[in-house]
Structure 1
Amino acid sequence: MSRRSAGFVGGWAEMQRQHQRQVEAEARRLREEERQARAHQRLAAQSHREYRQAEARRRTEELEAQVATLQGLLAMGCRVPAFRASSLMRAEEIPPFDPGQLAWPVRMPDQSQYQAQGGWTANRRAQAQAEARARFERDWHAAQAAETQRQQQLAGLQRDHERRAEAQRAEVRRHNAGVVEVTEGVRRGDPDSVVEYCSAALYSSTAWPEGFPRQAAAAYDAAGRQLVLNWELPGYDVVPEAKSVRYVPAQDQDKETARPVTQRRALYREALAQSMLLVLHQLFAADEYGALDSVALNGFVDAHDPATGRRGQIFLATAMAPRAVFTDLHLEQVDPVSCLTDALRGQLATRPDHLTSVRPSRHPEDAGSHGATHGGDEEPDLYDMDPIAFESLVADLFRAMGMQAVTTQRSNDGGVDVDALDPTPIRGGKIIVQVKRYRNTVPPTAVRDLYGTVQDVGANKGVLVTTSGFGPGSRTFARGKPLELISGDELVDLLRRHGLHGRLGEAGPAAPARPASGPASPPGDHNVLGMLWTGDVALDVCALVCQGNRVLSDDHFVFFNNPQTPDGSVRAVPPAAPDKAAIRVAFDALPDTADRFVLVAAVDPEANPEADLSGFTDASIRLLDPAMKELGRLEVSDGRPRETALVLGSFRRRSGGDWDFVLGGKGYSGGLEQLVREFGIEVE
Structure 2
Amino acid sequence: MNRMSRRSNGLIGMWAEAQRQQQRQQEARHRATVQQQREEERQQRAYEREVARQDREQRQAYRQAREAEARRRTEELEAQVAALEGLLAAGCRAPGFTPDMLGRPEQVEPFNPGHLGQPVAMPDPNAYRFGSRAQYEQDQRAAQDAEAVRRQQLAAYQQQYDQWAATTLAEIRRHNAGIGEMTAALREGDPDAVVEYFSAALYASGAWPQDFPHQVSAAYDPGARQLVLDWELPGFGIVPETKSVRYMPTADEEKETARPLTQRRALYRDVLAQCVLLALRELFAADGFGALESVALNGFVDEHDPATGRRTHIVLASVTVSRQSFAQLHLEQVSAVDCLADGLGGQLSARPDQLAAVRPGRAPGEVGRGVVSHGGGDDPDLFEMDPIEFEALVAELFRARGMRAVMTQRSNDGGVDVEALDPDPISGGRIIVQVKRYRKTVPPTAVRDLYGTVQGAGANKGVLVTTSGFGPGSYAFANGKPLTLVSGEELVALLAEHGLRGRLGGGAPQPKAPAPDAAVDGDHNVLGMSWSGGVALDVCALVCTGPQVLSEDHFVFYNNPRTPDGTVRAVAPGGADKAALAVAFEALPSVADRLVLVAAIDPEADPDADLSRFTDARIRLSDASGAELGQLEVSDGRPGETALVLGSFRRRASGDWDFVVGGKGYPGGLEALVQEYGIEVA
Tell me the TM-score normalised to structure 1 length. 0.53
Post-superposition shift, 1:498? 3.3
Q: Does 1:25 align with 2:9?
A: no
Q: Does 1:167 align with 2:167?
A: yes
Q: Does 1:370 align with 2:361?
A: no
Distance 1:246 1:287, change over 3 A: same
Aligned to 1:447: 419
Q: Give the secondary-structure state (helix, strand or coil) at the position aligned to 1:192.
A: helix
2:422/2:428 contact within 8 Å kept: no
Aligned ranges 1:221-300 → 2 under 5 Å: 221-300=221-300
2:214/2:376 contact within 8 Å kept: no
Post-superposition shift, 1:463? 6.7
Instruction: Encode CA deviations 1:545-602: one digit per residue, 9 max, x unaligned.
Output: xxxxxxxxxxxxxxxxxxxxxxxxxxxxxxxxxxxxxxxxxxxxxxxxxxxxxxxxxx
Q: Does 1:328 align with 2:335?
A: no
Instruction: Encode CA deviations 1:629-652: one digit per residue, 9 max, x unaligned.
Output: xxxxxxxxxxxxxxxxxxxxxxxx
Q: Gaps spanning 5+ residues in structure 1: where? A: 111-131, 379-392, 401-412, 418-431, 466-472, 501-606, 611-684
Aligned to 1:178: 178
- How far apart, CA to CA, are the structure 1 residues paired with 2:47 and 2:144? 86
- How far apart, CA to CA, are the structure 1 residues paired with 2:255 and 2:312? 36
Post-superposition shift, 1:157? 6.5
Aligned to 2:612: none
- How far apart, CA to CA, are the structure 2 residues paired with 1:109 and 1:29? 71
Post-superposition shift, 1:155? 7.4
Aligned to 2:350: 350
Post-superposition shift, 1:442? 14
Q: Does 1:14 align with 2:20?
A: no
Distance 1:290 1:433, change over 3 A: same
> Which residue among 447, 463, 468 is the counterpart of 1:482?
463
Identity %: 48
Instruction: Encode CA deviations 1:465-495: one digit per residue, 9 max, x unaligned.
Output: 9xxxxxxx9x977999433389xxxx9xx98
- How far apart, CA to CA, are the structure 2 residues paired with 1:29 and 1:476? 62
1:218/1:373 contact within 8 Å kept: no
> Which residue among 48, 62, 78 is the counterpart of 1:34?
48
1:450/1:464 contact within 8 Å kept: no
Q: Does 1:66 align with 2:50?
A: no
2:119/2:150 contact within 8 Å kept: yes
Post-superposition shift, 1:452? 8.2
Post-superposition shift, 1:34? 2.6
Aligned to 2:505: 498
- How far apart, CA to CA, are the structure 2 residues paired with 1:313 and 1:162? 50
Distance 1:165 1:482, change over 3 A: closer
Q: Gaps spanning 5+ residues in structure 2: where? A: 1-11, 125-133, 386-396, 438-449, 468-491, 493-500, 508-626, 631-682
- How far apart, CA to CA, are the structure 2 residues paired with 1:88 and 1:229? 22
Q: Give the secondary-structure state (helix, strand or coil) at the position aligned to 1:448.
A: strand
What amino acid is the match of 2:246?
Answer: R
Post-superposition shift, 1:45? 1.8
- How far apart, CA to CA, are the structure 2 residues paired with 1:36 and 1:314? 66
Distance 1:22 1:239, change over 3 A: same
1:85/1:179 contact within 8 Å kept: yes
Distance 1:57 1:14, change over 3 A: same
Distance 1:58 1:463, change over 3 A: farther
Aligned ranges 1:172-571 → 2 under 5 Å: 172-367=172-367, 368-374=369-375, 393=379, 415-416=399-400, 447-449=419-421, 481-484=462-465, 498=505
1:447/1:464 contact within 8 Å kept: no
2:203/2:375 contact within 8 Å kept: no
1:451/1:483 contact within 8 Å kept: no
Distance 1:210 1:446, change over 3 A: same
What amino acid is the match of 1:226?
Answer: Q
1:414/1:453 contact within 8 Å kept: no
Q: Give the secondary-structure state (helix, strand or coil) at the position aligned to 2:373.
A: coil
Aligned to 1:406: none
Post-superposition shift, 1:288? 0.5
Aligned to 2:102: 88
- How far apart, CA to CA, are the structure 1 residues paired with 2:237 and 2:425? 34
What amino acid is the match of 2:76?
Answer: E
Post-superposition shift, 1:218? 0.6
Instruction: Encode CA deviations 1:86-137: one digit per residue, 9 max, x unaligned.
Output: 1111122133445678889999999xxxxxxxxxxxxxxxxxxxxx9xxx9x
What amino acid is the match of 1:189?
Answer: G
Aligned ranges 1:82-161 → 2 under 5 Å: 82-97=96-111, 161=161
Instruction: Encode CA deviations 1:195-226: one digit per residue, 9 max, x unaligned.
Output: 11112211221111121111111111111111
Instruction: Encode CA deviations 1:113-172: one digit per residue, 9 max, x unaligned.
Output: xxxxxxxxxxxxxxxxxxx9xxx9xxx999999999999988776666544433322211
2:314/2:355 contact within 8 Å kept: yes
Q: Give the secondary-structure state (helix, strand or coil) at the position aligned to 1:482.
A: strand
Post-superposition shift, 1:32? 2.7
Instruction: Encode CA deviations 1:606-636: one digit per residue, 9 max, x unaligned.
Output: x9999xxxxxxxxxxxxxxxxxxxxxxxxxx
Name the stretch that deviates more: 96-105 or 5-14.
Answer: 96-105
- How far apart, CA to CA, are the structure 1 residues paired with 2:327 and 2:502? 40
Aligned to 2:584: none
Post-superposition shift, 1:325? 0.7
Q: Give the secondary-structure state (helix, strand or coil) at the position aligned to 2:247.
A: strand
Distance 1:195 1:151, change over 3 A: same
- How far apart, CA to CA, are the structure 2 residues paired with 1:29 and 1:108? 72
Distance 1:319 1:302, change over 3 A: same
Post-superposition shift, 1:35? 2.7
Aligned to 2:675: none
Post-superposition shift, 1:328? 0.7
What amino acid is the match of 1:290?
Answer: G
Q: Give the secondary-structure state (helix, strand or coil) at the position aligned to 2:96.
A: coil
- How far apart, CA to CA, are the structure 2 residues paired with 1:208 and 1:142? 61
Distance 1:252 1:161, change over 3 A: closer
2:292/2:323 contact within 8 Å kept: yes
- How far apart, CA to CA, are the structure 1 residues paired with 2:248 and 2:502? 48
Post-superposition shift, 1:182? 1.2
Distance 1:331 1:438, change over 3 A: farther
- How far apart, CA to CA, are the structure 2 residues paired with 1:255 and 1:246? 5
What amino acid is the match of 1:182?
Answer: M
Distance 1:173 1:358, change over 3 A: same
Distance 1:451 1:20, change over 3 A: same
1:218/1:372 contact within 8 Å kept: yes
Tell me the TM-score normalised to structure 2 length. 0.53
Post-superposition shift, 1:254? 0.2
2:239/2:268 contact within 8 Å kept: yes
- How far apart, CA to CA, are the structure 2 residues paired with 1:69 and 1:23? 67
Distance 1:397 1:312, change over 3 A: farther
Post-superposition shift, 1:11? 3.3
